[in-house]
């Protein structure tokens, strides 16, 4: 489920780390991942701890419906 070593305090740091670990190999993919902030797709209470880790995330039962977000390295491929 991703390389949790690729962690950032914000979306740009996450992408920087994915590039550094050679998980993003294409400039176009890098640009798109910088434009689409992963934190915007998570509930506010999950953003600080989970949004900028290279790991999958799944909503808990406290949310209406279910949400699963794959690890960023999956999208980088």
Q: How far apart are CA 4 and CA 71, in angstroms?
A: 9
| Closest to 72 in 3D by CA, of 9, 3, 10, 25 | 3
Locate 4 and state its tokens: 């949790």
For each of the chain's 77 residues, which pLDDT tens digit applies?
A: 444 567 889 999 999 999 999 999 999 999 999 999 999 998 888 888 889 999 999 887 665 667 889 999 998 88
């Amino acid at each position: 489920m991703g390389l949790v070593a690729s962690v950032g305090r914000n979306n740009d740091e996450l992408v920087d780390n994915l590039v550094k670990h050679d998980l993003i190999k294409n400039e176009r993919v890098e640009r798109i991942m910088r434009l689409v902030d992963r934190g915007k797709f998570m509930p506010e209470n999950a953003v600080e701890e989970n949004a900028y880790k290279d790991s999958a995330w799944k909503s808990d039962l406290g949310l209406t419906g279910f949400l699963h977000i794959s690890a960023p390295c999956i999208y980088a491929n």
